[in-house]
A and B are shown apart, each in its own frame.
Chain A
Amino acid sequence: MCRLSAITSGDYISPIENIYALETMKEGHDGSGLGLMLKDMGGPFADFKQYPTLSAICSNNGLQLLNDYMRAQGFVEKFSWEPPIKNVVGVERREHYLAKVYDYPVLYKDKTQREKEDLLLQTRLALRMMGEPDGSLFVFSFYPDVLTLKEVGDPLQLSEFFGIEKSDIQSRIVLAQGRQNTNYAIYLYACHPFFIQGYATMTNGENTAFVPIREFLMGRGNAGYMGYNSDSEVFTHILHYTNRTLGYPLHYYKDIITPMKDAEIGQRSDAAALRLLKKSLRPLCIDGPNCVIGFTPDGSVFMVHDSKKLRPGAVGGKSGKYALMSEVCGVDSAIPHRDKSMDIFPMKYDMVVIAPGAREVKIWNQLHG
């Protein structure tokens, strides 16, 4: 089962902390892939927070495609970064791993944030379509202040490969996933965390209801609900759909993916609305043993489970820095000096939400709303 490692902090941290945490949880992943997603960037990206960052892997041809397309669309490159690659045995090096910061096309300067986000999504999808057939270009995220790195291999080896330990790359939120390859081929687009318009999630556990959920999402009329090389991608899109498209407060994500029984719903002050949601969004019930960790555009980081998740994830830390991990040993690695009696192992009704800046942890209980 995939191992998940998220850290949210008031100060900038290096993603190597997440890698080390994954290393302690190694018996649960087989080194078949690493996904890193950084939000609220420091280091060289600190000056470009309002500009969208494109994260991609490409060949020389793919880079040409990328540059030509971005230029044609009117995006102006402001900054480009490539990790200092060091060849490591067992990791197949591709030609370019890059993060490019762009300024918006002139026509979009005065558009609303939502319109800009739609442009970024369309651009990412167009690039994906161009590069996917021949594998020349993989684009993982295109959004302000978010960077993604993915590759096939063992996380620790990959951190050496990407030179993460020595790199000045930093952020306040880091999601990292060590992949346990199950029933899908190792493929870059199948690697968590998944991202869409400021929302990211990573998941462990097989997604039992994948097909009906995928079909429901694909019928929502959002071109971004595509891909699905991994059954876990739907969790990101459900989050985006409920929070951004429908405008529901974050905790309704829990109500939608793990709806309560009718008798339980009756205890909530918003029972009337919940009853409608349960019916209208019935196909989004995940009905499987999943733990989802993710972040939202405002920088909140959360963890949520289905009741069939036999071993809950763990959340621990102290004000200013919290770790959300699939195993408690990962929390120990990331934040060893903490009051362990305050660790949280969310139960089936719980949704743990850590506010931006990691100042406070809130356990939202589904029964009580």
Chain B
Amino acid sequence: MEPASRLDKNHQLSLKELPYIIQWREDRCTRCGRCTAVCPMKSIEATVYTQRVVSSEGASPEPLVTRRLTQVVRQVTEIDRYCIGCGTCSLVCPTDAIFPEYNFQHKLYHYKNRGGIPFMRGGRRNDPSISTLDKLKFTRISMLTDPALDAGRHEFRVRTLLGRNLPAEQLPLKVEGDKLLIRDHTFIPPVREIFPIRIGSMSIGALSPHMWEGLAMGVTYLNEVEGIPVVMCSGEGGMPPSILKSRYIKYFILQIASGYFGWDEIIRALPDMIEDPAAIEIKYGQGAKPGDGGLLQAYKVLGLIAKIRGVPQFVDLASPPTHQTKYSIEEAVAKMIQSMSMAWGFRVPVYPKISGTKTARAVLNNLARNPYAAALCIDGEDGGTGAAYNVSMDKMGHPIASNIRDCYLDLVKQGKQNELPLIAAGGVGKGGNLAANAAALIMLGASAVDIGKYIMQAAAGCFGDEYNRCNVCNLGKCPRGITTQDPKLYRRLDPDKVAERVVEVFKAADVELKKIFAPLGRSTELPIGMSDALGVADKEIADRLQISYVC
């Protein structure tokens, strides 16, 4: 007997299981086919239905039933073609006839493991709740006892230092007459003065050529025209030799990670480099997927990427979770930092990046004793990624606020808070409040912050959100052309427009930071660790972060 399942579709999913349900207006649709053509997941398809039409044309009712074929747009219920809610269909629809609607009752995670392969995606933690950073307020407002400053007219210096600052006791100074002079040519660690918001590590490979080019052009413009020294990290995977050998390399931080992808090209370019990079970041971990190495899925390993990374095309490029050649933190810190420092004649700050973790303080204390460690970058659980298992993104990692606070207070105990800068990353600007989040982290003790997802959203209109919208960066199907190597997709992204937006974003953040610092009365130095300026209407957060409880 034929099984009933084929007849009643009992083993198929219903639309209610899917995270986004397509709302299609038959009356508006002109059947142009743009939506079905553009859908990155092929979640909608053009098909035909038999339609029963009842009509009556005479003077008295004489219902006539006819059946006719009609063209419709139908949502597919196959789990591998589930609607990701990106909304590209509504973007291209000329008559506003279609849009995806979020389904709060969805059961995507129950089913998205076909073939025994867990759900993998890009983006960041699917947690739409208000982040701790967004709960923090600036409550110390200068009123009468000290003058608040005019953010528009007062002169501000919104800069931070990237690199190890020698304690004053160790500076090679001597007094001659009433002047301080440099005593001898003792090693003084390199320190860069930069804007306190950086563009964090996103590789060429993870990003499309147009997106990466747009970011790079924007950063260069900010430095050379606007005088805002924003730096940007390469991510793992190297950079085109033409940029390595250009004067623009000084605006970039080169990242080395556990796969060492791209470093053949970098080492080859070294003798021809005319400027030093801003810094070298050694990636030991990533907030979005702690314990995982980098992953560039085969779909994205096309010609240019393969060439820069020195690998064949169309193979998964998985970096190991750890640096396989390093068996201990001592080796990782002592040898890797020194090797990197040595490659550029100790002229470039070298620092590690780790994922947010309870063990961050142990790493920090090790770095605090290493005179060559230039900083520590901690990437919290809300950091983004191009590809990871959903379980890693949603459930692994440590929030950045308390992690950075603990580390800062540890440095305070040792009197080294100015010596070893902390860089905070992971969820900065998650709710759109870039400057406020950055300022809050700075007052908790960070010297600088990194952004990734924020700049993709603000500069290129990334569709991703914390309701798992889009998030197909891993598949190379990015409908905006941000995280794809498919020319058909990335040609839709205009690098000049991205660059313009990067400039606008940083100029706006600069103004907003001033609007925060001015009422606090701060203008000359970044208020790093000025925790008395912070308040939160949650007693437990206040206690944990050692800031004021306000209500």
Contacts and interface: CB of A to CB of B under 8 A. Distances in A.
Interface of A: 1, 182-183, 205-206, 208-212, 215-216, 218-221, 245-249, 251-252, 258-259, 261-262, 269-270, 272-274, 276-277, 279-283, 285, 287-289, 308, 310, 369
A209 B530 contact: yes
A244 B128 CA distance: 54
Nearest to B178: A249
Please classify the interface of chain B as helix (H, G, I), strand (E, B), loop, or mixed, using the class held by over half of its residues.
loop
Nearest to B522: A287
Interface of B: 142, 145-147, 149, 157, 161, 165-169, 171, 173, 175, 178-182, 188, 191, 193, 412-418, 520-525, 527-532
Contact of B520 (A1, A208, A219): A208
B418 A308 contact: no
A220 B419 CA distance: 12
B413 A219 contact: yes
Contacts of B531: 211
Contacts of B528: 212, 283
A281 B167 CA distance: 8
A246 B171 CA distance: 10
A209 B191 contact: no
A216 B522 contact: no
A186 to B, nearest CB: 16
A254 to B, nearest CB: 12
Contacts of A282: 161, 165, 418, 525
Given A183-B145, A276-B173, A289 B521 contact: yes
B393 to A, nearest CB: 35
Given A289-B147, A308-B147, A273 B165 contact: no
A272 B181 contact: yes
A42 B434 CA distance: 61
A-side interface mostly? loop
Contacts of B415: 216, 218-221
Contacts, number: 123
Residue among B146, B412, B413 with most chain A CB within 10 A = B146
A288 B521 contact: yes
Contact of B188 (A212, A215, A258, A276): A276
Contact of B191 (A277, A279, A288): A279
A127 B394 CA distance: 55
Contacts of A261: 157
A283 B173 contact: no
Nearest to B529: A212
B167 A280 contact: yes
A240 to B, nearest CB: 13
A308 B523 contact: yes
Nearest to B170: A280
11 contacts: A1-B145, A206-B146, A208-B521, A211-B532, A220-B415, A251-B178, A258-B524, A272-B182, A283-B418, A287-B527, A310-B147
B166 A280 contact: yes
B527 A212 contact: yes
A248 B181 CA distance: 11
Given A216-B417, A220-B415, A270 B180 contact: yes
Contacts of B532: 210-211
B169 A246 contact: yes
Most A CB within 10 A of own CB, among B417, B523, B524, B530:
B524
A202 B168 CA distance: 25
Nearest to B171: A276
A219 B417 contact: yes
B418 A280 contact: yes
A270 B179 contact: yes
Contacts of B413: 219
B180 A248 contact: yes
B146 A211 contact: no
Contact of B418 (A208, A216, A270): A216
Contacts of A258: 524
